[in-house]
Amino acid sequence: MNNTNSINRNTCKVCGLCAEVCPMKIMIKNDSTEISFRQDRLPLCIKCGQCMAVCPTKSFVVEGLSYSKDFFEMPDQIAPDIMFFNMIATRRAVRNFKDKPVPKELLEKIVQAMTFAPPGFTPIKTEITIIQDAEVVRKALPHMIKVYDDLVAAMNNPIARIFIRHKVGAAKYKTIKNHVVPLMKSRLPELKSGKEDTITRHAPSMILLHADRNAENYETDIHIALTYGFLAAHALGLGGSAMDLIPPAIENSRELRRMFSIPESNTVVGSMILGYPKYRYQRGIKRELKGVLWI
Ligand SMILES: Cc1cc2nc3c(=O)[nH]c(=O)nc-3n(C[C@H](O)[C@H](O)[C@H](O)COP(=O)(O)O)c2cc1C
Ligand code: SF4
Ligand code: SF4
C-alpha cells in the first residue's frame, strides 16, 4: 500500500510500543537503540493508526495520517467500569416512541459514535443515511408494506418461488419461507389497514447503513457500527432497535431507494429506528449465551 511510514529519530524514545501494537508486525525493535521497518511488510500497512495512537512522543507518522486531524487526546476521566456495564445492561430494543422528534445534535452524536466503531480494514465502506423527519418514515411505510405484500403473493406461486430461491440463495430463502412469510402473513392485514405499524413502529427517526455491494467485508463493519449507534442512543436517553425487515424492503423498492437517496450501486445492510422511549422498563433481562467454555 505504501512504504513511507516514518519515525522521527530525534524524538523517538525507542520504547517499542509501536512495534508491539502493530497488527501487521511491520516494525522491529532491534535493540535499545533503534526501531526498524521490515521492508517486505511495509506494503501490508492497513493504516489502522495503532502505532500513532500508542506513541508517547508523536514520533511515528503513517503516510496519510496526521496527529491533529486523525486522532484525539484521551478524555481525562475514563468513566468507571460500573457505569459502562450499567449502560449496556439497561439497553432495550425500543419499539414504542414518544411523539417527539430527535434533536439533530443527538443524531450527530450517534453518527459520531458510529465513526468510533472498528473497521475490519480500511478504507471504510460504511455509508449512512439519517432520516430526521417522521413524515418521511411515515411516507415510506406503504412502500415497505407493498414489498412484503408482493413477496407473500410471490411465495404462493411455485414458479416465483424458484426464482426467489435462485436470487437470494438457499439460506436466505429458508429464512423467507420459514420466518418472513408466516410473520408477514399475520402482520399484513393490520399493516395494510393502518391499525399497526410493525415495520417502522412510528419511529420519529431512522438510520440506514449501506455500502457499495461490490466492496469487500462491509457487512460486519456495518453491524458493529450499528451496535455502537444503539449504545450511543441509549447513553443519550434515546432508544432504538435494529429492524431487519427494512433493508430488504429498500433493496426491492425503487421508490424507497429514491426516497432515501440510496445510490444504485449500494445495498442497505442495516437499519435502526430511533426515538425517545415511550415506556420505562422496571428491570433488565437476564440471558445466557448458548455456550461458554473456559480453557
Ligand atoms: C470485522 C473485523 C475483522 C477484523 N479482523 C482483523 C484481523 O483479521 N486481524 C487483525 O489484526 N485485526 C482485525 N480487526 C481489527 C481491526 O484491524 C481494527 O479494529 C482496526 O485496525 C482499527 O483499530 P482499533 O479499533 O483498535 O483502533 C478486525 C476488526 C473487525 C471489526
Ligand atoms: S498504521 Fe497500523 S499497520 Fe500501519 S504501521 Fe501503524 S500499526 Fe502498523
Ligand atoms: S512508539 Fe513512538 S517513541 Fe515508541 S518506539 Fe515507536 S516511534 Fe518511538
Q: How far is the CA of 108 from the centre of ligand 2 (A)?
A: 29
User: Ligand 3 centroid to 46 CA: how many Å?
Assistant: 18
* Percentage of the chain exceeding pLDDT 90: 74
pLDDT tier at 1, thresholds 50, 70, 90: very low
Q: Cβ atoms within 10 A of the Cβ of 278, count? A: 14
Confidence of residue 78 (pLDDT cuts 50, 70, 90): low
- Average pLDDT in the chain: 92
Least confident of 16-20, 55-59, 147-151, 256-260: 16-20
Atom of ligand 2 nearest to the CA of 50: 7
Predicted local distance difference test score (pLDDT) of residue 77: 60
pLDDT of residue 233: 97
**CB of 52 closer than 6 angstroms to any ligand 1 atom:** no
For the stretch 165-168, contacts whose Cβ atoms lie closer than 8 Å and that sit 24 or more positions apart, written own/partner, are none
Q: What is the DSSP letter of 93?
A: B
Spatial contact of 190 and 202, defined as CB atoms under 8 Å apart: no
Give me the pLDDT at residue 46, please. 87
- Lowest mean pLDDT of 49-63, 83-97, 155-169, 198-212, name the range: 83-97
Tell me the mean pLDDT in the region 262-276: 97
Which atom in ligand 3 lies closest to the alpha carbon of residue 35?
A: 5
Q: Which residue's alpha carbon is at the smallest distance from atom 1 of ligand 3?
A: 55
Q: What is the pLDDT of residues 136-185, one digit of tens each?
A: 999 999 999 999 999 999 999 999 999 999 999 999 999 999 989 988 99
Find, among 206, 242, 201, 230, the residue nearest to 129 by Cα. Answer: 206
Give 23 or 123, the one with higher predicted confidence: 123
C-beta neighbour count of 188 within 10 angstroms: 16
Asked whether 200 lines ligand 2 (CB < 6 A), one says no
Rg (CA), the chain: 24
State the pLDDT confidence band at 79, using cuts at 50, 70 and 90. low
- Is 245's pLDDT higher than 60? yes
Which ligand approaches the C-alpha of residue 9 most closely? 3
Most informative mutation of 17, 21, 27, 34 for ligand 3 (most atoms within 8 A of CB): 17
Whether 37 has a pLDDT exceeding 80, the answer reads yes
pLDDT in tens, 100-116: 999 999 999 999 999 99
Is residue 112 within 8 A of residue 194, CB to CB? The reply is: no
pLDDT at residue number 286: 84
Residue 268 neighbours by CB under 8 Å, 6+ apart: 208, 209, 210, 246, 247, 250, 251, 262
| Ligand 3 touching residue 141 (CB < 6 A) | no
pLDDT of residue 40: 87
In whole angstroms, what is the distance from residue 27 CA to residue 43 CA? 12
Which residue did the predictor score with more confidence, 86 or 55?
55
Confidence band, pLDDT 50/70/90 cuts, at residue 193: very high
CA angle at residue 41 from 38 to 42, to 5 degrees? 85
23 lines ligand 1 (CB under 6 A): yes
Residue 17 CB less than 6 A away from ligand 2? no
Could you give the residue ranges of the DSSP H alpha helices within 179-281? 181-193, 218-235, 246-251, 254-259
HSE at residue 224, side-chain half, CA atoms within 13 A, is: 15
Nearest CA-CA partner of 44 in 1, 12, 10: 1
